[in-house]
Structure 1
């Protein structure tokens, strides 16, 4: 059998050479396009349903939200594990699927079941499916710094810091939520960007009980007036002089002044406004934690999550490019400083394995030279090793195995065995 194979190889030299070149080219392409990470992601396809129910106790969340959703999620095709966690104002339902389950199909199945049960859930809840990521998806973290607050290491281009506006954590969080986060979510490979720290800006209407009694107005009337006033309404069209004019009413509230001027009721031809019965001010949502940095106080940070199956190195590189683009958009005195970058870990891990691979090839070549006593024969045998590595990369690409510390380490061991 071996003799026949050798004769075939010697006779069909051109074909063998072409096959070798084809394997080499495909191997190089596979290596360049392989997902690269520090560690293998062995987690099963998983879909999380996260529901927020402000003000509800754990027992109420369990009875009215978690239990109905769990019952609806029973029997989804490919499901292996169904579990949940219920906390104050929060319900998290986790559904694990079989390893060969397509994650997008799994999410579609869960979404269908969730839509079926949604109408029976409390009306004031919010939430849905968590991003397509894994426990190893935290690849990049950064914080937003107002250079005039003493935090960070960057300069301000030689300008006097006294002339640069100081931004509060609430303003930085607003910048993170409405400018930075949407821009980073467009990067290929990013599943989501979580905002951490700071204060989420809100407008608060603080009722004055005595004024309500004085004017004979209830809290419900104030709430109803605010809800009804905070909307735009479309009208009809008016044809005039061969032109079409669109008619609409603009009532969307855009700030404190608009809220203060909302009319709650009219008495004796005189409107009673919100500012007559309440104080309107800028506030923040209730916080359940805080982020601190280097012992210098609270900070506003962002966490970039990797989409399942995406390339970590390319995603981090794209994130850095997006942050560079943001420099021209950010207000003067605001900088973004990264403090965790998965690229460093991946680069060191891959370099360690590549070094081991190189050393293994050299050692094997030396052993062959010593054992065979002929450099030409040793080189002929040693040529099989790179070809084997390239063929392995092709198989890794076909079976969607990432290049990581374990897979490349196993390849180094295999070279030694060969």
Structure 2
């Protein structure tokens, strides 16, 4: 493994690890706040117990996310010094504001965790809401920084110089809204299905039924609403990508040749040498319709883009197919859930229905990882789209491969530790959070 591949692999590993914790950190506090609100309004002890149980999970993920996020910040400077030399003054504002949001989130979480019985009941609830809002803002700001890499703005690039820098324009670049919207909805869907799936499993095992049933319902509502909205945000994102990053769109769809009535490709195995897709299902005109709202308008293929600027087609295409396929599966489960609420209440207690949510437990996060693969791999060979190539930004320091191996071991260890802590927390729920009045 050469140093360039090692640097990219280490960054991918760090981001892939951190994104799970950042999604949960953005979303779980809202679940917690809803349960806490029900406790304050009804005095039903089960909601208090749900709030306390979830708050422990929030604390675990917050601590791990803080560590992995700090590592990512250092890696930007250590692995990509040429990138930070030029990009830092331009897109540094969202990172500095994200630090402020993180600071507020940490203080609010401390108030919430240690505020039971010490604060006014509604002020205590409000601190939990602040944890969620600040976490969500933090995530949006980081996505805005990433969006700038896909849609550079806020400067003039003249003769290799970055002039007339405008950090506000850089932060609110053309891609920030579509990416932030898609990421936030994805975070709610992934976290919601993961939490709902765990509680569905506990219901199937007949453990602390009422506790897990109420927990399941709160998480499932968030998850299913998000899953229904996700295709809409995906459509907005795809149309945006088609305008700013036609090479990425072409790689996503394995669209090698420019043509009118361009087909939408489902599945298939891209052959980059032969410039074709084998074993695919093609829906004539659908790609043209999705991009241009017209079945006949041509869609630019990779033949319109210089060979040196082509992203890795196979990886981008497979990741996109995984993301969309899982999105459709979660959409189907969500439709079934709302049918169950409105028409088929008996489904809520049936094993097949709960098993569907158990099956979906990891699916949302697999889709999130696939989506970020599309975002990052689909932008290659650029680290700043159309301005700076990734190969020109990497550190000249040797031995990056060893750093990658060390970080891989560290992240595997952290994953095992977090898994153990969560497993122990779930097992203890039945003992610590019973629903008797004396609890």
TM-score (norm 1): 0.27
TM-score (norm 2): 0.26
Higher strand share: 1
Higher helix share: 2
Q: Which has the higher contact order (CA 8 A, sep 6+)?
A: 1
